[in-house]
A and B are shown apart, each in its own frame.
Chain A
């Protein structure tokens, strides 16, 4: 018997809000209040960006800086996608930093020392990441060893192996093609001065597609009698998002265009968002994290799902390692140090729950950008690394606190 008490006299059950799809002010407010957590994170990000924009006298939003922001934090976003699935499944992976460092080292050894062509080397590295994830996942899923022990040990192993592989030195530079993964920009078909038109057009196209998709979803919802968002809110939201997207694309286009890594990130984000929201295997991971017993009783192979989550994490950590190494153009023994904390923090800031089963891909991405903007903004302001660490810890604390508060309500 739980101690959850129900009030002795209960008010009549609250009806659904907004059964009529009219977009009057009160229903918009009610809608916002209910979805506060979802949109709250986004508003936070915007607020933080505005804050730093002011504090840095407008340096933050400069095209050059925005581009750097994207390039510097791409690896966090990539790994956050994988870490989110691991956390939703109820586990944690502390080894991602070391694994990405190790894979970066492996890439360097293969491409620089042994002259492997770029594509086979990249594929081999990704496969290696997958194998590492599989090994860790095996111990966690099938032998039920706590994930933090397995991955903490993994962190050690791969830190050591990275050091051994590099023999303590930094190896580089990488072939040109590989460098372009991280530091390259998409080619420009037009030759307009001061503006990479292709990038801008791409941004416009994406905004249009997203708006169209949102519109179609809304139409289908109405067709099935579901109220969805109030019309005014929907219109406003679509407008704002499109404006932000186009503005962002404009900023980037006026510098050097869309970075390659941004395209990679965008594709991955779309993929994982799709998997987590619209595929059975994605939903099963959420079921596993929410109530493992119920999931198992429903016939879900929970051990295999956990295993896959770790394999996926391994591959993404490997990709992040490649991106990072390509950006620095060398593989260093220090690569990967402390990455896991940024990634885990990004997931929690984005709304993932420590007990599993809760967390959205977009939330993790926003969380990663919050971390990135904070890193970037604080660096511009000249705040020391030490303060940055403290502040990051405090932000993580706040995020976890909100999660615990929600749970205990």
Chain B
């Protein structure tokens, strides 16, 4: 649908690209001004603000203590809870870079969790797994990868619009997840599985390492191979990319496949954490959170330049926001409203028409004031 494709914004003043993390080399007045122009500046500032708000309301918020060889504290909690969302956001970033969207990630999370839970089986003695753990994990990830490939083929091969193509899996995916779990909530009693989402390594939750690992992989792929360059080229100007000899189709399929894989991994983290797989509720509304994280991190929905670091920060922002809402005692329903409001605000600021309207409002008072 033509109108659901976002308008391209005008090219903005030069900013450094994501492959060089330090700020641009042009001579500028002050360090602060330069730092603020960095594309990650505003996300970071937002995150710090939220942390400050949390700390203000909760004195022990920033407190991290070491107990039983593990680190404990609100910050650790946030990092742990944000891990699945961070994974999904990383995958979503690649898809958005190609001017696409994937609203089926929630369903894929549920499917992956369901497959893993089923393969492990519900033996209550917790001693055995129906299939080997590696096999179970592999199967879950494999199915998630298939889901991603399915989406990619529909978009790049059949030429469907991304929102429609991924809507199909969103509809059918929950059903598939329910099929695997036979409509039940499968409980897992197999301790080695719990390590993924609930275990600790070097005192920190293992999930953080999973995210770090995936991030490192994607970051390296984006900066140490031509993938990053090609993805951006395809997202900004698919025609020019094709003329330059880039195989846009395979790239797009790959982006959706990676997105599916990340969602699958997130599903494993979640089910490992809650020790069960709920085909209906797992990953509920995760797609919106992921889109929000990606846009908060500075990647535009119109495609092109993307920032993996930004998406991570975006995921942290969302999690910190949720934490703040809970600790303030706001009912959970309002959480949804606040999140939606934040989406709105971000999208409004990205809308050229809105910025124009604001500019008009901002200019008029000064003209009056000058008199």
Contacts and interface: CB of A to CB of B under 8 A. Distances in A.
CB atoms of A and B under 8 A apart anywhere in the complex? yes
Interface of A: 87, 89-92, 139-140, 142-150, 152-157, 159-164, 292, 306, 341, 344-345, 348, 354-356, 384-394, 396-397, 400-401, 404, 408
Contacts of B142: none
B301 A149 contact: yes
Interface residues of B, number: 55
B344 A393 contact: no
Contacts of B167: 341, 344, 396
B46 interface: no
Interface stretch (B1-9, B193-201, B206-214, B216-224): B1-9
Nearest to A398: B168
A389 B1 contact: no
Contact of A393 (B161, B175, B351, B357): B175
Interface in B306-363: 331-337, 339-341, 343-344, 347-348, 351-354, 357
Contacts of B1: 87, 90-92, 147, 354-356
B169 to A, nearest CB: 7
Contact of B288 (A153, A384, A401): A153
A354 B161 CA distance: 8
A contacts with B: majority SS: helix
A292 B175 CA distance: 37
Contacts of B357: 143
B334 A156 contact: no
18 contacts: A91-B3, A139-B347, A143-B353, A144-B7, A145-B348, A146-B4, A147-B1, A148-B4, A148-B103, A156-B343, A164-B331, A292-B3, A341-B170, A355-B161, A386-B177, A391-B175, A393-B175, A396-B168
B18 interface: no
Contacts, number: 165
A157 B344 CA distance: 11
B178 A147 contact: no
B194 to A, nearest CB: 26
Contact of A387 (B4, B6, B179, B344): B179
A404 B285 CA distance: 28
A389 B334 contact: no
Contact of A389 (B3, B178, B335, B352): B178
Contacts of A341: 167, 170-171
A90 B3 contact: yes
B284 to A, nearest CB: 10
B291 interface: yes
